[in-house]
Amino acid sequence: MCPSLRPPRGRSLYFASAAEAEREGFRACPRCRPELAPGSGPSPSLPRLAAAARAQIEAGFLGHGSLAGLARRLSVSGPELRRITSQALGATPAELAESRRLALAKQLLQDSALGVREAARAAGFRDSRDFRLLLLRRFGSSPSALRRGAGGVVAPRGAIVLRLDYRPPLEWGELLAFLSARATAGVEEVEGLCYRRTVRIGAQVGFLEVRPDPKRPALRAEVSLSLSRALLPLGARLRALFDLDANPAEIARHLGRDPLLAPSVRRRPGLRVPGAFDGFESALRTVLGQQVTVRAATTVAGRLAAALGEPLATPYPGLTRLAPTPRAVYRAGVDALAGLGMTAAKARALGALAEAALAESLGLDRYGDPEVAERRLRALPGIGPWTAQVVAMRALGIPDAFPAGDLGVAKALGVRSARAALLRAEPWRPWRAYAAMHLWAALAAGEVE
* Element housing 189 (H / E): strand 188-191
Backbone angles phi, psi at 286, to 5 degrees: -70, -40
- Report the C-alpha gap between 239 and 255 in whole angstroms: 23
CA distances from 7 to 13, 14, 314, 399 (A): 10, 12, 50, 33
Do the bridges between strand 194-201 and strand 159-165 make them parallel or antiparallel, or are there none, so unpaired? unpaired
Neighbours of 194 (CB within 10 A): 15
Q: Are 186 and 309 in contact (CB under 8 A)?
A: yes
d(CA 422, CA 435): 12
- Which residues are tagged catalytic? 406
Alpha helices by DSSP H, listed for 112-210, are 116-122, 128-139, 143-148, 172-181
| 8 A C-beta contact, residue 422 and residue 404 | yes
Contact 276, 241 (CB under 8 A): yes
User: H or E element: which one contains 354?
Assistant: helix 344-358
